[in-house]
Amino acid sequence: MALIKSTHDIESLRKGGKILSDALGAAIKAVKPGVTMRELDQIAEDFMRKAGAEPSFLGYTAGGDTPFPATVCISQNEEVVHGPGNREIALREGDIVGLDIGCWYEGLCTDMAVTVPVGEVTTEARSLMNVTKMSLQKGIEAAKAGKKLQSMSQAIENTIKPHGYGIVTSYLGHGVGHAVHEDPLIPNFVSDRFENPELRVGMVLALEPMVTLGSEELTIADDDWSAITVDGSIAAHFEQTIVITETGAEILTPFPQI
């Protein structure tokens, strides 16, 4: 897998990212009390396939024994990430729901996520979502060729820490393009446990802060996928795929305009 993507690769990723954003937007529009996760998953998958893309999460194993059974990771409240979207769970007024989605298009992969409210949510929940999204934006703003990778990590951490939220440390951002997950790993906090390479033009990266109202400690549910906060606190997750350019970073998976 090439760490630096070609001009041709980036154009395909740009097209795939637009399809992915539109598929996610179709699912978000359907979010309301009473709709099931399975219904949202089917909406996103149908849109993706009609546009000529293929789900990248469906059947993915991540090195484990249980293939992921859905197109979208749909995570509700205390579920941080990787909730299977094929569940017959109805959304409820006041929930917050993470929608994490990826696709293959012209042999290349993009990845993105948002957390959205179901009807009216608490001020606390809305603040958590806003701060998490802002931390992603600050991380992308810090992504510049010639800087170290952890300049993005620092920007993300600096945005979250003043609010006292928990920064999930067991899941990280990553390279993406030729595979669902590629090097380098991108922590949402500064740590010398991870490599800190220089950012180079043509790197394609998925930044994805995951933030909780309480502790960052997680456990895995019996479905072998859903990552849940141990203390039951709610969590938010936002993600975009970017490419490092001569002038900064281009977002390949723009958030849908809903």
Q: In the structure encoding, which two tokens stand for residue 112, read together?
A: 């993105």
* CATH number of the structural domain spanning residue 205: 3.90.230.10
In a domain, 15, yes or no: yes
The average confidence (pLDDT) of the chain is: 97
Residues 166-177 have pLDDT tens digits of 999 999 999 999
In sequence order, the 6+-apart residues with CB closer than 8 A to the CB of 126 are 117
DSSP 198: B
pLDDT digits (tens, 9 = 90+) for 27-55: 999 999 999 999 999 999 999 999 999 99
Q: In which domain, by residue range, is 127 found?
A: 7-251
Question: Quick check: is 1 in a domain?
Answer: no
Say if 69 falls within a structural domain: yes
Can you say whether residue 23 is alpha, beta or left, with left for phi > 0 and alpha for psi between -120 and 50 degrees? alpha
120: in domain: yes
Q: What percent of the chain has pLDDT over 70?
A: 99
Place of tokens 């603040």: 127
Angle between helices 37-50 and 7-29 (to 10 degrees): 140
190 in a structural domain? yes
- pTM, two decimals, is 0.97
Task: Note whether residue 2 is domain-resident.
Answer: no
pLDDT tens per residue, range 1-28: 568 999 999 999 999 999 999 999 999 9
pLDDT digits (tens, 9 = 90+) for 95-107: 999 999 999 999 9
pLDDT number for residue 1: 54
Calpha distance 8→203 (Å, rounded): 13
- Place 142 in a pLDDT band, splitting at 50, 70 and 90: very high
Residue 68 placed within a domain:
yes
On whether the CB atoms of residues 125 and 34 are closer than 8 A, the answer is no
| Tens-digit pLDDT profile for residues 51-94 | 999 999 999 997 778 999 999 999 999 999 999 999 999 999 99
- As for how many domains the chain has, the answer is 1
Position 24 in a domain: yes
Backbone angles phi, psi at 111, to 5 degrees: -150, 140
What is the distance in angstroms between the CA of the first residue and the CA of the last residue of the chain?
A: 35
Q: Across residues 114-126, what is the average pLDDT?
A: 98
Strand pairing of 235-237 and 240-244? unpaired
- The residue-averaged pLDDT of 222-243 equals 97
pLDDT score for 257 = 85
What per-residue confidence (pLDDT) applies to 258?
67
